[in-house]
Amino acid sequence: MDLHLAHEPTGDVLERFSHDGHVTLRQLLDPLELELLEPGLSAAVHRSDPNTGVPWEERSTYDRAFIQVGDLHRTSAEARRLVFSRRLASVAAALLRVASVRLYHDQALYKLPSNGEGGHTPWHVDQYYWPLATDRAVTAWIPLVDVPSDMGPLTFASGSHRMEEGRGLEISDESETLCDRALAEGGFPRAGTPFQLGDVSFHLGWTYHSAPPNRSETERKVMTVIYLDGEMRVAAPTNDHQRDDLRKWLPGLKPGDLAASEANPLLWPSG
């Protein structure tokens, strides 16, 4: 299960992903290797925590949900090993049913423990933030520790990548309320199970997901990598978040361009 050994998902996995918009692959990665990577990666996260020193009562719902740090592969050798993992990238390409995938960006999502009042993650879709021309983008959610039920594992709404209601909402208390109702009315099943170290989930950009608060006494430590179809084109931004993403993650590009700036290396196939 070396990070740089490619992995080919079974046909059943591919069909489940296509139907549900998400799939969790149990023990895709070696827990021992993740245990070795976690300390250095976590140190880089805490050095870069943008909310250090910000009082809890002054933080938004979004900022109460987790510590979020992007582009860690630039400053952490441990993060770089995950981001450039051929094993993860090969799975992403297979799930998207594309020949190649590029890096969009990576980010750590560390949910604070209950004694720090770590908040819930409201229902939302990631692609609201992305100026991308198609839905061929997928996020790998990679726990760096076991994530039992009380630590706030991801909950997906299976099949919700086909629901359009709520797509224009940023992550917020409003998205939690409106999307929760729309998902219930649409009859989309909720799928949320604990993760063991080595398990990795993948979800499409339009798949609705949320996470409960971390009610344990330790941080929920998760690294994510977002993959793009290697032939993805940049779309015209439709909101300020997409304009920010275009500047930050697709530097120098404009609508219609191939999403292949120097910040978006080809991850699969790779040398």
Question: Which domains does the chain possess?
Answer: 21-251 (2.60.120.620)
Q: What number of residues does the chain have?
A: 271
pTM beyond 0.85: the answer is yes
Say if CB 121 and CB 68 are below 8 A apart. Answer: no
Q: What radius of gyration, in Å, describes the C-alpha atoms of the chain?
A: 17
Sign of the alpha-carbon dihedral angle for 251, 62, 107, 227? negative
Question: C-alpha distances in angstroms, 213 versus 77, 118, 145, 150?
Answer: 30, 6, 16, 8
Say if CB 219 and CB 108 are below 8 A apart. Answer: no
pLDDT one digit per residue (tens) for the chain, 271 residues: 689 999 999 999 999 999 999 999 999 999 999 999 999 999 999 999 887 777 767 777 667 767 899 999 999 999 999 999 999 999 999 999 999 999 999 999 998 876 545 578 889 999 999 999 999 999 999 999 999 999 999 999 999 999 999 899 888 888 899 999 999 999 999 999 999 999 999 999 999 999 998 999 899 999 999 999 999 999 999 999 999 999 999 999 999 999 999 999 999 997 5
Q: Nearest to residue 134, comparing CAs of 60, 211, 229, 40?
A: 229
- The model's pLDDT over 5-49, given as tens digits with 9 standing for 90+, comes to 999 999 999 999 999 999 999 999 999 999 999 999 999 999 998
Q: Nearest to residue 122, comparing CAs of 20, 212, 221?
A: 212
Distance CA 250, CA 69 (A): 17
Which amino acid type is present at position 156?
F
Distance CA 63, CA 65 (A): 5
